[in-house]
Amino acid sequence: MRALRLSTPGPLTEASLRLVEAPRPELDPTSLRLRVHACGVCHTDLHIVEGELPPKKLPITPGHQVVASVIETGMAATRFQVGDQVGVPWLNWTCGVCAFCLRGEENLCDRARFTGWDVDGGYADEMIVDERFAVAIPPAFTDTQAAPLLCAGIIGYRSLRKADLQPGEHLGLFGFGASAHLAIQIARHWNCPVSVFTRRAEHRALADSLGAAWTGALDQSPPRPLDRAIIFAPAGEIVPLALGHLRKGGTLAINAIHLSQIPAMDYNLIYGERTVRSVANATRRDADEFLPLAAQIPIRTEVQTFPLAEASRALLALQRSEIKGAAVLMM
């Protein structure tokens, strides 16, 4: 089978990932063998390729927004049948017995494994996944439409929850890529006015088309203070800027697995019982709640597709903020 392999993390070039003929992975009793149809391209993939996230396994096949069909089931696997369409998100396995798992916080499990970081992911023709961590894809979505939902969508939904967003509240989104362009649609479904901060005109135009109440650059101010805010860009310097727009008692959620240095800032920016919290991974419950909601709304994914062999080109475009919406690899 074909697979794109990362052997040496470092600055991204078109040669960072090498297309190879790889042996088919072995099937465990509780696992599924999947034929990959599409795989979303995520900033986390970029952090792994460039080594900003220390490698867990090398060589590694990245990719964790995988849409696939089941082609074989393990002897003890019963959740899905051959032919079913499933998704594989970032969270690939947890221990199930630690204090975090027992509290329903499996995203914080110290032994958790992640798709495309600890185990080979979806930049390949086939992959293996434990059936407990595969998710059913609503039939309303095509392969390309579904791929961004499996990380950008799920983590965007969790970010809205961790920002404590309530119906009708004013939400600010900082950065407007794959995750934000899905989160805004959930917020609008909850009747929340949304202000979007992004430097690129084409991203502001997309936000406008998805119902943003206001769009502007990072150094501009929305018409009124924000009740809640989410930072999607991996840039620590945005934190004090976002807090400057947040009302007293408001919440800022930072959706970034890797973030540049947060600068020193005046205590008054968080005084007034403002809350700052990170968003770390997502749980299976997040996926189970979000995917039916996405079909109900229904969420529209803005997608730019690339063939598997051009994954590095897609990552370069993502790095340069040239992707409008989400990038998806097609097998």
Is residue 63's pLDDT more than 90?
A: yes
Mean pLDDT score, 252-256: 97
- Collapsing DSSP to helix, strand or coil, 285 comes out as helix
Report yes or no on 74 lying in a domain.
Answer: yes
Q: What is the mean pLDDT of the chain?
A: 97
183/211 same-domain check: yes
135/159 same-domain check: no
Report yes or no on 287 lying in a domain.
Answer: no
Tokens of 101: 């798992």
157/142 same-domain check: no
CATH of the domain at 130: 3.90.180.10
261/308 same-domain check: no
- Report how many domains make up the chain: 2
Q: Roughly how many angstroms between the first and final C-alpha of the chain, as a whole number?
A: 11
Is residue 232's pLDDT more than 90?
A: yes
63/37 same-domain check: yes
Report yes or no on 31 lying in a domain.
Answer: yes
Please name the amino acid found at residue 298. Answer: P
Q: What percent of the chain has pLDDT over 90?
A: 98
Is residue 169's pLDDT more than 90?
A: yes
Q: Could you tell me which residues are beta bridge partners of residue 185? A: none
Report yes or no on 98 lying in a domain.
Answer: yes
143/160 same-domain check: no
State the residue range of the domain holding 246: 153-278
50/118 same-domain check: yes
DSSP assignment of 243-288 equals HTTEEEEEEEEE--SS-PPPPP--GGGTTTT-EEEE-----HHHHH
Is residue 15's pLDDT more than 90?
A: no
Place of tokens 């901060």: 197
Report yes or no on 47 lying in a domain.
Answer: yes
CATH of the domain at 265: 3.40.50.720
What pLDDT digit, counting tens, does each position of 205-223 carry?
Answer: 999 999 999 999 998 999 9
Is residue 318's pLDDT more than 90?
A: yes
Mean pLDDT score, 143-159: 98
Max CA pair span of the chain:
59
Is residue 188's pLDDT more than 90?
A: yes
96/18 same-domain check: yes
Mean pLDDT score, 6-32: 94
